Chains A and B, each alone.
Chain A
Amino acid sequence: MTIPSIPPAAYLIVGAILFAIGAIGVLTRRNGIIVFMSIELMLNSVNVSLITFSHALNSMDGILFVFFVMAVSAAEAGVGLAIFVQLYRTKETINVDEINLMRW
């Protein structure tokens, strides 16, 4: 009797659950930095799905895409955190409900 190896659906379910938790964090938390960390968690869960597809379909394209997603999220981290520091200097808060500079 052989035990079946781990199906790709199991990894995809883990990715879906992590994505949902990240989305809940973005929608419910009001601290800007925790919203930012939730977005990073969502990007990471999509990486899990991409690697799973790449492994299941014998392709390298998923791995290359994960590489580019990581580069984009690193750029996003640099600029986003600089914006938070500048917002804190001018408005003394990073609560996303109180930041309404662009509202008309």
Chain B
Amino acid sequence: MFEQNISIIFQWLIFLGTASFAILASILMVTRRNPIHSALFLIFTFLCTAVLFLLLESPFIAIIQVLVYAGAIMMLIVFVIMLLELEKELRSPLKISFSKGIGVLTVLLTMLGLFFAVFAGPKGASGEYTSEKVSQLGSIKVVGKLLFTEYLLPFEIVSILLLAAIVGAIVLVKPRPFGRE
């Protein structure tokens, strides 16, 4: 009883800490003027959500989050920020206009709607993969088995999508100006 309470108290502490840090870092990401600072705060948000995934007992997704999001995608974004000369954007102040105010208000109303939906709780048929069964079989083994049986077609489509993205990126950055006929 006592040991169970201690583990739940630690789960709550980790959850509250990482959740508040993720929200704080994402607010800083949206408001900083320098894009490099924004990128670093976004990496911090991704690491915090990886800890949330660990709390939800899915270590595979947490590792993929750190490798793909915080590693590969953010590295790409930081490289592009360094390639572009953004001096003009850095010097221009943040403008506040009427249309932006309306946009923020709409998003906040949407967030309230999401909160009302959240308090209804997750409803639906419970599946067969309880956390004991998954930890007994191994999380990655279960994911791999599903990926190559039930989700084989989406998996193949994703491979074609990634190939198309590679070809598209190479064709786009070939040295050939847009406007020349």
Taking chain B's interface residues, is the majority helix, strand, or loop, or is none over half, making it mixed? Answer: helix
Q: Contact check: which of A5, A33, A40, A95 meets B73 at CB < 8 Å?
A: A40
Residues of B within 8 A of A (CB): 1, 4-5, 8-9, 11-12, 15, 19, 22-23, 26-27, 29-30, 35, 38-39, 42, 45-46, 49, 52-53, 55-58, 60-61, 64-65, 68-69, 72-73, 76-77, 80-81, 83-84, 86, 88-89, 95, 100, 103-104, 107-108, 110-111, 114-115, 118-119, 121-122, 124-131, 134, 142-143, 146-147, 151, 154, 158, 161-162, 164-166, 168-169, 172-173, 177-179
Contact A8 B121 (CB under 8 A): yes
**A51 adjacent to B69 (CB under 8 Å):** no
Are A86 and B173 within 8 A (Cβ)? yes
In the complex the two chains form, what is the Cα distance from A25 to B38 in whole Å? 11
In the bound complex, residues from chain B placing their C-beta under 8 Å from that of A82 are 168-169, 172-173
> Would you list 25 pairs from A and B whose C-beta atoms are within 8 A, ordered by A residue?
A3-B8, A5-B11, A12-B122, A13-B115, A18-B49, A19-B114, A21-B29, A24-B104, A34-B30, A37-B38, A38-B30, A40-B69, A41-B29, A47-B49, A48-B49, A57-B125, A59-B127, A60-B129, A63-B61, A64-B146, A72-B158, A79-B172, A83-B172, A84-B84, A86-B178
